[in-house]
Structure 1
Amino acid sequence: MGFLFLESLPGPKIFKCKCCKVDSASHDDIVSKDFQGRFGSAYLFKTVVNISLGPNEERRLLSGLHTVNDIYCSSCQQILGWRYEKAFEESQKYKERKYVLEKERMLKEGW
Protein backbone atom coordinates (compact mmCIF):
# COMPACT_ATOMS: atom_id res chain seq x y z
CA MET A 1 0.00 0.00 0.00
CA GLY A 2 1.34 3.45 -0.93
CA PHE A 3 1.10 6.90 0.54
CA LEU A 4 -2.18 8.75 0.65
CA PHE A 5 -1.68 12.23 -0.82
CA LEU A 6 -4.01 14.79 0.70
CA GLU A 7 -4.52 18.34 -0.49
CA SER A 8 -4.51 21.18 2.04
CA LEU A 9 -6.67 24.18 1.24
CA PRO A 10 -5.54 27.78 1.71
CA GLY A 11 -7.74 30.43 3.24
CA PRO A 12 -9.35 31.20 6.55
CA LYS A 13 -12.67 29.34 6.15
CA ILE A 14 -12.34 25.62 5.42
CA PHE A 15 -14.77 22.71 5.64
CA LYS A 16 -13.25 19.48 6.96
CA CYS A 17 -14.40 15.87 7.29
CA LYS A 18 -16.00 15.53 10.73
CA CYS A 19 -14.46 12.09 11.30
CA CYS A 20 -10.80 12.60 10.35
CA LYS A 21 -10.49 16.41 9.99
CA VAL A 22 -9.08 16.29 6.43
CA ASP A 23 -9.76 19.38 4.28
CA SER A 24 -12.78 18.97 1.98
CA ALA A 25 -13.84 22.39 0.63
CA SER A 26 -13.28 26.12 0.82
CA HIS A 27 -15.95 28.63 1.80
CA ASP A 28 -15.04 30.52 -1.40
CA ASP A 29 -16.32 27.60 -3.53
CA ILE A 30 -19.90 27.62 -2.17
CA VAL A 31 -22.50 27.99 -4.93
CA SER A 32 -25.56 27.67 -2.67
CA LYS A 33 -26.32 27.18 1.03
CA ASP A 34 -29.92 26.17 0.31
CA PHE A 35 -29.68 22.41 -0.23
CA GLN A 36 -31.14 19.42 1.59
CA GLY A 37 -29.13 16.25 2.21
CA ARG A 38 -29.88 12.87 3.75
CA PHE A 39 -29.03 14.19 7.22
CA GLY A 40 -30.32 17.77 7.01
CA SER A 41 -28.94 20.98 5.53
CA ALA A 42 -26.24 20.86 2.88
CA TYR A 43 -24.16 23.19 0.68
CA LEU A 44 -23.52 23.06 -3.07
CA PHE A 45 -19.82 23.55 -4.00
CA LYS A 46 -17.98 24.17 -7.28
CA THR A 47 -15.01 22.06 -6.20
CA VAL A 48 -14.02 19.77 -3.35
CA VAL A 49 -10.77 17.94 -2.52
CA ASN A 50 -9.68 14.71 -0.87
CA ILE A 51 -12.66 12.69 -2.00
CA SER A 52 -13.37 9.51 -3.91
CA LEU A 53 -16.49 8.94 -5.99
CA GLY A 54 -18.90 6.04 -5.89
CA PRO A 55 -20.51 4.63 -9.04
CA ASN A 56 -23.05 6.54 -11.13
CA GLU A 57 -26.65 5.97 -10.09
CA GLU A 58 -29.92 7.57 -11.03
CA ARG A 59 -31.67 9.13 -8.06
CA ARG A 60 -34.96 10.98 -7.77
CA LEU A 61 -34.24 13.99 -5.57
CA LEU A 62 -36.47 16.89 -4.49
CA SER A 63 -35.56 18.73 -7.71
CA GLY A 64 -36.16 15.79 -10.05
CA LEU A 65 -34.24 12.91 -11.59
CA HIS A 66 -30.43 13.15 -11.57
CA THR A 67 -27.44 10.91 -12.19
CA VAL A 68 -25.25 11.23 -9.09
CA ASN A 69 -22.16 9.74 -7.44
CA ASP A 70 -21.81 9.46 -3.68
CA ILE A 71 -18.75 11.31 -2.31
CA TYR A 72 -16.47 9.61 0.24
CA CYS A 73 -13.63 11.11 2.25
CA SER A 74 -10.45 9.76 0.68
CA SER A 75 -8.85 9.43 4.14
CA CYS A 76 -11.51 7.69 6.27
CA GLN A 77 -14.13 6.68 3.62
CA GLN A 78 -16.96 8.45 5.49
CA ILE A 79 -19.78 9.42 3.12
CA LEU A 80 -19.85 13.23 2.82
CA GLY A 81 -22.54 13.86 0.20
CA TRP A 82 -22.82 13.44 -3.57
CA ARG A 83 -21.80 14.87 -6.94
CA TYR A 84 -24.30 15.74 -9.65
CA GLU A 85 -23.15 14.03 -12.82
CA LYS A 86 -26.22 14.77 -14.95
CA ALA A 87 -29.49 16.65 -14.51
CA PHE A 88 -32.38 15.60 -16.72
CA GLU A 89 -34.39 18.81 -16.36
CA GLU A 90 -33.10 21.92 -18.12
CA SER A 91 -33.63 24.14 -15.06
CA GLN A 92 -31.31 21.88 -13.02
CA LYS A 93 -28.36 21.75 -15.45
CA TYR A 94 -26.40 24.29 -13.35
CA LYS A 95 -25.83 21.49 -10.79
CA GLU A 96 -23.92 19.25 -13.19
CA ARG A 97 -20.34 18.51 -12.05
CA LYS A 98 -20.97 20.23 -8.71
CA TYR A 99 -20.81 18.73 -5.22
CA VAL A 100 -23.18 18.59 -2.26
CA LEU A 101 -21.57 18.32 1.17
CA GLU A 102 -23.82 17.63 4.13
CA LYS A 103 -23.34 20.03 7.05
CA GLU A 104 -23.83 17.17 9.52
CA ARG A 105 -20.70 15.48 8.09
CA MET A 106 -18.47 18.57 8.09
CA LEU A 107 -16.49 20.68 10.58
CA LYS A 108 -15.88 24.39 10.02
CA GLU A 109 -12.38 25.70 10.64
CA GLY A 110 -11.45 29.36 10.84
CA TRP A 111 -14.93 30.76 11.37
Structure 2
Amino acid sequence: MDELVGPRLYSCYKCRNNVSLHDDIISKAFQGRHGRAFLFTHVMNIVVGAKEDRTLMTGLHTVADVLCGDCNEVLGWKYERAYEPTQKYKEGKFILEKSKIVKENW
Protein backbone atom coordinates (compact mmCIF):
# COMPACT_ATOMS: atom_id res chain seq x y z
CA MET A 1 0.00 0.00 0.00
CA ASP A 2 2.88 2.43 0.76
CA GLU A 3 4.01 2.21 -2.88
CA LEU A 4 0.62 3.53 -4.02
CA VAL A 5 0.71 6.53 -1.69
CA GLY A 6 4.35 7.49 -2.18
CA PRO A 7 7.01 8.38 0.34
CA ARG A 8 6.17 10.24 3.54
CA LEU A 9 7.51 13.75 3.12
CA TYR A 10 7.94 16.96 5.04
CA SER A 11 7.13 20.25 3.31
CA CYS A 12 7.53 23.94 4.07
CA TYR A 13 4.58 25.02 6.21
CA LYS A 14 4.23 28.24 4.23
CA CYS A 15 4.30 27.14 0.56
CA ARG A 16 4.21 23.30 0.71
CA ASN A 17 7.54 22.89 -1.11
CA ASN A 18 8.82 19.34 -0.38
CA VAL A 19 11.96 19.63 1.76
CA SER A 20 12.73 16.17 3.18
CA LEU A 21 11.80 12.51 3.42
CA HIS A 22 10.62 11.01 6.70
CA ASP A 23 13.20 8.25 6.22
CA ASP A 24 16.01 10.82 6.47
CA ILE A 25 15.26 11.67 10.12
CA ILE A 26 18.07 10.78 12.50
CA SER A 27 16.50 12.19 15.67
CA LYS A 28 13.36 14.00 16.83
CA ALA A 29 14.98 15.04 20.13
CA PHE A 30 16.44 18.41 19.11
CA GLN A 31 15.62 21.96 20.11
CA GLY A 32 15.25 24.75 17.56
CA ARG A 33 14.72 28.48 17.95
CA HIS A 34 10.94 28.00 18.09
CA GLY A 35 10.59 24.66 19.90
CA ARG A 36 11.15 21.05 18.88
CA ALA A 37 13.28 20.25 15.86
CA PHE A 38 14.33 17.19 13.88
CA LEU A 39 17.83 16.22 12.74
CA PHE A 40 17.95 15.06 9.09
CA THR A 41 20.69 13.45 7.02
CA HIS A 42 19.43 15.03 3.78
CA VAL A 43 17.10 17.84 2.73
CA MET A 44 16.02 19.00 -0.73
CA ASN A 45 14.67 22.07 -2.49
CA ILE A 46 16.39 24.40 -0.05
CA VAL A 47 18.93 27.22 -0.10
CA VAL A 48 21.82 27.24 2.37
CA GLY A 49 22.75 30.67 3.72
CA ALA A 50 26.08 32.08 4.84
CA LYS A 51 28.13 30.25 7.46
CA GLU A 52 28.39 31.75 10.93
CA ASP A 53 29.53 30.67 14.37
CA ARG A 54 26.72 30.23 16.91
CA THR A 55 26.76 29.08 20.49
CA LEU A 56 23.98 26.51 20.74
CA MET A 57 22.83 24.36 23.67
CA THR A 58 25.58 21.84 22.87
CA GLY A 59 28.40 24.34 22.42
CA LEU A 60 29.97 26.35 19.61
CA HIS A 61 29.12 25.32 16.04
CA THR A 62 29.56 26.79 12.58
CA VAL A 63 26.09 26.71 11.04
CA ALA A 64 24.25 28.08 8.00
CA ASP A 65 20.55 28.87 7.86
CA VAL A 66 18.42 26.59 5.68
CA LEU A 67 15.75 28.40 3.68
CA CYS A 68 12.88 27.04 1.62
CA GLY A 69 13.92 27.02 -2.04
CA ASP A 70 10.53 28.44 -3.10
CA CYS A 71 9.47 31.05 -0.52
CA ASN A 72 12.79 31.69 1.33
CA GLU A 73 11.28 30.97 4.76
CA VAL A 74 13.99 30.02 7.29
CA LEU A 75 13.26 26.37 8.19
CA GLY A 76 16.32 25.58 10.32
CA TRP A 77 20.06 25.28 9.83
CA LYS A 78 22.88 23.09 8.57
CA TYR A 79 25.72 22.06 10.86
CA GLU A 80 28.92 22.91 8.99
CA ARG A 81 31.35 22.36 11.86
CA ALA A 82 31.17 21.17 15.46
CA TYR A 83 33.99 22.24 17.76
CA GLU A 84 33.31 19.69 20.51
CA PRO A 85 34.48 16.14 19.69
CA THR A 86 31.21 14.65 21.00
CA GLN A 87 29.21 16.80 18.54
CA LYS A 88 31.13 15.90 15.35
CA TYR A 89 28.34 13.51 14.25
CA LYS A 90 26.19 16.58 13.43
CA GLU A 91 28.55 17.93 10.77
CA GLY A 92 26.88 18.03 7.35
CA LYS A 93 23.45 17.32 8.85
CA PHE A 94 20.36 19.53 8.95
CA ILE A 95 17.96 20.80 11.60
CA LEU A 96 14.39 21.51 10.50
CA GLU A 97 12.09 23.06 13.07
CA LYS A 98 8.87 21.15 13.64
CA SER A 99 6.83 24.38 13.55
CA LYS A 100 8.20 25.20 10.08
CA ILE A 101 7.39 21.89 8.32
CA VAL A 102 4.23 19.89 7.65
CA LYS A 103 3.65 16.23 6.86
CA GLU A 104 2.68 15.13 3.34
CA ASN A 105 1.44 11.64 2.24
CA TRP A 106 0.81 10.35 5.77
Tell me the TM-score normalized by structure 2.
0.93
Larger strand percent? 2
Kindly, what percent of the aligned residue pairs are identical? Answer: 51
Give the deviation of 1:110 after TM superposition: 1.9
**In structure 1, how many angstroms separate the alpha carbons of the residues matched to 2:20 and 2:103?**
10
Number of matched pairs? 102
**In structure 2, how many angstroms separate the alpha carbons of the residues matched to 1:25 and 1:11?**
13
Q: Which residue of 2 aligns with 1:54?
A: 49
Q: Which residue of 2 aligns with 1:75?
A: 70
**In structure 2, how many angstroms separate the alpha carbons of the residues matched to 1:87 and 1:17?**
26
**In structure 1, how many angstroms separate the alpha carbons of the residues matched to 2:57 and 2:26?**
18
Where in structure 2 are there 5+ consecutive unaligned residues?
none
User: Over the residues paired in the alignment, what is the CA RMSD in angstroms?
Assistant: 1.1
**In structure 2, how many angstroms separate the alpha carbons of the residues matched to 1:26 and 1:42?**
15
Post-superposition Cα deviations, 1:68-105, rounded to whole Å, max 9, x if no partner, equal 00000010000000000000000000000000000000
Runs of 4+ aligned residues of structure 1 deviating over 6 Å after TM superposition are none
| SS of equivalent to 1:104 | helix
Q: Which residue of 1 aligns with 2:16?
A: 21
